[in-house]
Amino acid sequence: ETPVIDVDPSRRVAKIDKNIYGGFLEHMGRCIYGGIYQPGHASADTHGYRTDVLKSLQTLDIPVLRYPGGNFVATYHWQDGIGPRESRPTRPELAWEGVETNEFGTDEFLHWLTVLGNCEGGVGKWTVEPYFALNFGTGTLDEALAWVEYCNGKGNTYYANLRRKNGREEPWGVKYWALGNEMYGPWQVGQLNAEDYSKKAIVFAKALRLLDPSLVLVLCGETGYSSWDFEVLRSCIPYVDMHSIHIYTASSDHMKNVSAPLIAERAIEATAAFIDVARIENNIAPTKPRTTICFDEWNVWSPTRAPGNLGAEEKYTLSDALAVGVWLNVFVRQAKYMGMANIAQSVNVISPLMTTEKGIVKQTTFCILELFSRYMRGWTVHTHVRGGVYTGDTEPAWLKGVQEEGINTLDVSATVGKDGWVSVAVVNMDENKDVEVDLKIGGAVEGGVETHTVTGENVNVVNTEEEEVRIAEGTWDGKG
Ligand code: AHR
């Protein structure tokens, strides 16, 4: 029987926040040094920024970039990375067992963003917004306040003047700030329990808002499906705007690999419910804007395959690219709750984009991101799929029980854009079967059809420097 996909563009489910196509740059492995910044490289500009990397990232139309970590931030003192380079200290780096030269810091990152986004930067002027994570490990409240003042201060005050002295007159206007990163984790310098974290997060949030009421503060969640998430939301919800979640998926078994991102869908639904309960308990009026979900680390990553202290340079297969398609389908389908999502990471470290001495390599996952970012915007619309079902093993094992009869082997999301274009993203999880689907688009459909196919000889193919997974592009005139 031919599978059927029903898409009803007149039934808009929710507006998609453009920030779901966000990225992440951490001082880890070759992400910053040898990634976006490599003075002396043939493609480097006068600032040392690799222009081949800038050009590739520009095609992804990234709306927001998280920086500088990750686990890195738990021992990072931002003041080490400002001012004259020759006076910046080199320090041991505890998260990834490296050394941090501090050659690249706050002003370099923000300036690099202005180059990436071809904009001036500053409030209302960013085309790629910065999103900073605060040091909740060894960092103090004073340091956090000073960082915000340095970046955003408008008046005649010490850190605002220090920024001016370092060459930036206008405030940088950094809106998004995370209250720590993975503070629940035993791997984290300064690990806390949920109660202690909540107390600290509230103290920081209150003070930061006194300094700059326009900040968007992000609470440190876990997987979205844990008691940590529930507890910190219950305590902190009145003080924050977003709740962060991190999940990585990976398996050497194709069906497990490609279906695993569906756990994110469950996590988002669970977090949305926690947010509701937390709002009720804190007497937050239903008319007040909802705390949204900031999925600020997601991707396919197996830390045993690509360990963090060795730079986490994953080599992505077609199977991984399809998994990334499922990941992005989840964010589109769950647009109602999503305020931001950041692929971890954007260059070299668990990334779709790799640098070599010769140039850049776009991994299999790159074209998926590019297609979603280009087409899957606007509103998410109602879809229904009747097709193949997978009932075999999943990772985690409970996943296959989440959908009624097993997992749909066609994973679908659909959008309608401002211009009325309907876009449908379909991932065929089945590695053994090409499928022809009956795609029914409700309402009057006019105009042509454009199709883009990502495929390869088998699900294990990877891109090499010489050869990239082919995107077979086709157009269809709409007849038939
Ligand atoms: O993205 C790599 C690492 O994964 C991040 O530093 C950390 O937050 C997570 O555990």
Asked, for residue 309, whether it belongs to a domain, the answer is yes
**Helix pair 158-165, 141-152: axis angle to 10 deg:** 50
Asked, for residue 427, whether it belongs to a domain, the answer is no
Q: Establish whether 1 is a catalytic residue.
A: no
Nearest CA to ligand 1 atom 9: 70
Reference 175, options 216, 144, 136; nearest CA is 216
Domain count, the chain: 1
Distance (Å, whole) CA 163 – CA 21: 30
Taking residues 438-453, report their average pLDDT: 87
Q: What is the pLDDT of residue 479?
A: 44
Q: What residues contact residue 249 under an 8 Å CB cut-off, 6+ apart?
A: 257, 260, 261, 263, 264, 300, 301, 323, 327, 395
Residue with tokens 């899957």: 376
Q: What is the pLDDT of residue 345?
A: 97
Ligand 1 centre to CA of 33 (Å) is 17
Residue with tokens 């991984």: 320
Taking residues 151-166, report their average pLDDT: 98
Q: What is the pLDDT of residues 251-274, one digit of tens each?
A: 999 999 999 999 999 999 999 999
Asked, for residue 393, whether it belongs to a domain, the answer is no
Asked, for residue 233, whether it belongs to a domain, the answer is yes
Q: What is the pLDDT of residues 54-102, one digit of tens each?
A: 999 999 999 999 999 999 999 999 999 999 999 999 999 999 999 999 9
Q: What is the pLDDT of residue 470?
A: 59
Which of 90-94, 128-132, 221-225, 474-478 shows the lowest per-residue confidence on average (mean pLDDT)? 474-478
Q: What is the pLDDT of residues 328-374, one digit of tens each?
A: 999 999 999 999 999 999 999 999 999 999 999 999 999 999 999 99
pLDDT at residue 404 is higher than 80: no
Query: Ligand 1: which atom is nearest the Cα of residue 312?
Result: 2
pLDDT at residue 478 is higher than 60: no
Ligand 1 centre to CA of 84 (Å) is 29
Distance (Å, whole) CA 460 – CA 480: 34
- Give me the catalytic one of 108, 297, 314, 370: 297
Nearest CA to ligand 1 atom 2: 70
- Give me the catalytic one of 26, 129, 182, 222: 182
Q: What CATH number does residue 106 fall under?
A: 3.20.20.80
Q: What is the pLDDT of residue 165?
A: 98
Which of 182, 183, 298 to mutate to test ligand 1, by most ligand atoms within 8 A of the CB atom? 182
Asked, for residue 174, whether it belongs to a domain, the answer is yes
Q: Do residues 416 and 375 lie in contact, with contact meaning Cβ atoms separated by under 8 Å?
A: no
Q: What is the pLDDT of residue 42?
A: 96
Q: What is the pLDDT of residues 174-223, one digit of tens each?
A: 999 999 999 999 999 999 999 999 999 999 999 999 999 999 999 999 99
Asked, for residue 446, whether it belongs to a domain, the answer is no
Asked, for residue 68, whether it belongs to a domain, the answer is yes
Ligand 1 centre to CA of 406 (Å) is 31
Taking residues 133-152, report their average pLDDT: 98
Q: Which residues line ligand 1 (CB under 6 A)?
A: 26, 69-71, 181-182, 246, 297, 344-345
pLDDT at residue 480 is higher than 50: no
For the chain, what is the mean pLDDT? 95
Nearest CA to ligand 1 atom 4: 70
pLDDT at residue 444 is higher than 90: no
**Where is pLDDT greater, at 443 or 67?**
67
Grade residue 446 by pLDDT with cuts at 50, 70 and 90: confident
Distance (Å, whole) CA 345 – CA 353: 9
Q: Is the ipTM of this structure higher than 0.90?
A: yes
Asked, for residue 153, whether it belongs to a domain, the answer is yes
Ligand 1 centre to CA of 188 (Å) is 10
Grade residue 469 by pLDDT with cuts at 50, 70 and 90: low
**Where is pLDDT greater, at 61 or 475?**
61
Nearest CA to ligand 1 atom 5: 70
Ligand 1 centre to CA of 206 (Å) is 27
pLDDT at residue 275 is higher than 70: yes
Q: Establish whether 314 is a catalytic residue.
A: no
Q: Is the dihedral of CA 181, 183, 186, 191 positive or negative?
A: positive
Which of 181-195, 363-377, 394-408, 449-463 shows the lowest per-residue confidence on average (mean pLDDT)? 394-408
pLDDT at residue 304 is higher than 80: yes
Ligand 1 centre to CA of 288 (Å) is 32
Query: Ligand 1: which atom is nearest the Cα of residue 71?
Result: 6
Q: Name the residue range of residue 94's domain.
A: 16-377
Which of 297, 310, 342 to mutate to test ligand 1, by most ligand atoms within 8 A of the CB atom? 297
Q: What is the pLDDT of residues 33-53, one digit of tens each?
A: 999 999 999 999 999 999 999
pLDDT exceeding 70 applies to what percent of the chain? 96
Q: 444-453: long-range contacts at Cβ-Cβ below 8 A with a sequence spacing of 24 or more?
A: 445/478, 446/478, 447/478, 448/475, 448/476, 448/477, 448/478, 449/475, 449/476, 449/477, 449/478, 450/474, 450/475, 450/476, 451/475, 451/476, 452/371
Tell me which amino acid residue 10 is. Answer: S
DSSP 373-398: HHHS-SEEEEEEEE--EE-S--SSGG
Q: What is the pLDDT of residue 476?
A: 61
